[in-house]
Amino acid sequence: MRLYPPNVRSYARQLGMPAVPIGIALVTEESVLLAENGDIIFAGDAGMQRVGNGFAAAVKAFVSGTWDKRFL
């Protein structure tokens, strides 16, 4: 797993709230973050995308393909 603390701190600054890394997803190895407000975020070189609020909602949105694919 390649989650670098400086990157996570940068993502949290961009979000404007604390975030903790919870894993890596996709072929592009996006960082999966849990934001303080409960949002699950994919973050990587291209930017950040909100997947859903809370684990269950994020998994459902990701599997169904209904998550917001716009970059923050």
pLDDT in tens, 7-66: 999 999 999 999 999 999 888 889 999 999 999 999 998 899 999 999 899 999 999 999
Structural domain range at position 32: 5-64
Within-domain flag for 21: yes
Within-domain flag for 72: no
pLDDT for 58: 92
Within-domain flag for 37: yes
Within-domain flag for 39: yes
Output the pTM of the full model: 0.86
Within-domain flag for 71: no
pLDDT for 1: 54
Q: How confident is the model at residue 3 (pLDDT cuts 50, 70, 90)?
A: confident
The number of distinct structural domains making up the chain is 1
Within-domain flag for 16: yes
In 10 A of CB 59, how many CB atoms? 14
Within-domain flag for 55: yes
Within-domain flag for 27: yes
DSSP string, 2-14: ---HHHHHHHHHH
